[in-house]
Amino acid sequence: MPEDLELINRFLSGDMEAFEMLVKKYQNRVINTAYSLAGNVSDAEDIAQDTFLKIYHGLNSFKAQAKFSSWLYRITVNTAYDFLRAQKHKTESLEEADCENIRAKENNPDLLTRELIQGALGEIPFDFRSVLTLRELNGLSYEEISQALKINIGTVESRLFRARRILKGILTRKGALKNV
């Protein structure tokens, strides 16, 4: 697949197919990032759609000095933030349902259920959740997260540390860390 910059230049010259290639290349990453931030599939797809629409309209303002993926992640996180704020999204409470989900995974004790992970992620502040998602889901380095979110590396490190602390507290409270 051609490089991002080549696809961007082709799109800016009017080649719609190049934009489609960009979407295909990144859509899974964007959708899953959005899913991790929003907590449900429907919202995740809407956020991803909005993100790519913003990319479509904003590609002419993209500065080639930056990495396209960093720019894309920033837009994804910002779009998710706006979306959730607009919806006054409330993370689903797991409570009783958790027990069922935890039991359902008894064969693989290290792997928690999707609902449990999403519920716990939904309880941590958005700023921490976004850093944690970019690190754990997308495997970005501190430097890349710092560029994507326009925060310094020290902030990335401290948010990651606190996000993990909070998450551990939540999972412990829910009784999900017996085997971890």
Partner 1 sequence: MCKYAKLLNRYIDNELPRAKKEFMDTHIISCPACGQEMKFLNSLRQNISQNKIDTNADFFLNRLKGRIQQEEKAKNLSENFVFDFGKWTRKLIPVPVLASILIIIFLNLNQNSYTNPVDEYLFTNQNSNVLALIDTAGQQSELGLLLY
Residue 125-144 contact track with partner 1, rule CB under 8 A, x = bound: -------xx-xxx-x-xx--
Q: How far is CA 80 from the centre of its chain?
A: 8
Which residue stretch of 1-9, 23-31, 58-66, 78-86 sits at the interface with partner 1 (rule: CB under 8 A)?
23-31
Which residue stretch of 7-15, 80-88, 94-102, 159-167 sits at the interface with partner 1 (rule: CB under 8 A)?
159-167
Q: Classify 110 as helix, strand or coil.
A: coil
**CB of 177: closest distance to partner 1 in angstroms?**
7
**CB of 95: closest distance to partner 1 in angstroms?**
19
**CB of 114: closest distance to partner 1 in angstroms?**
6
28, 87, 93, 152: which one contacts partner 1 (CB under 8 A)? 28
Site for partner 1 in 47-76 (CB under 8 A): 48-49, 52-53, 56
Structure tokens at 176: 């999900």
Q: Quick one: CA dihedral 10, 15, 18, 20, positive or negative?
A: positive
User: Does residue 12 bind partner 1 (CB under 8 A)?
Assistant: no
Which residue stretch of 6-14, 74-82, 85-93, 160-168 sits at the interface with partner 1 (rule: CB under 8 A)?
160-168
Q: How many residues does the chain have?
A: 180
What's the rounded Cα separation, in Å, for the pair 50 and 52? 6
**DSSP structure string for 59-101:** GGG--TTS-HHHHHHHHHHHHHHHHHHHHT--PPP-HHHHHHH
Residue type at 6 in one-letter notation = E
What's the rounded Cα separation, in Å, for the pair 28 and 39? 15
User: Does residue 94 bind partner 1 (CB under 8 A)?
Assistant: no
Structure tokens at 32: 């899953």
Q: Which of 4, 152, 168, 148 is nearest to 78 (CA)?
A: 148
Give the binding site for partner 1 (CB under 8 A).
20, 23-24, 27-28, 31-32, 35-36, 41, 44-45, 48-49, 52-53, 56, 110-112, 114, 117-118, 121, 132-133, 135-137, 139, 141-142, 157, 160-161, 164, 167-168, 177, 180
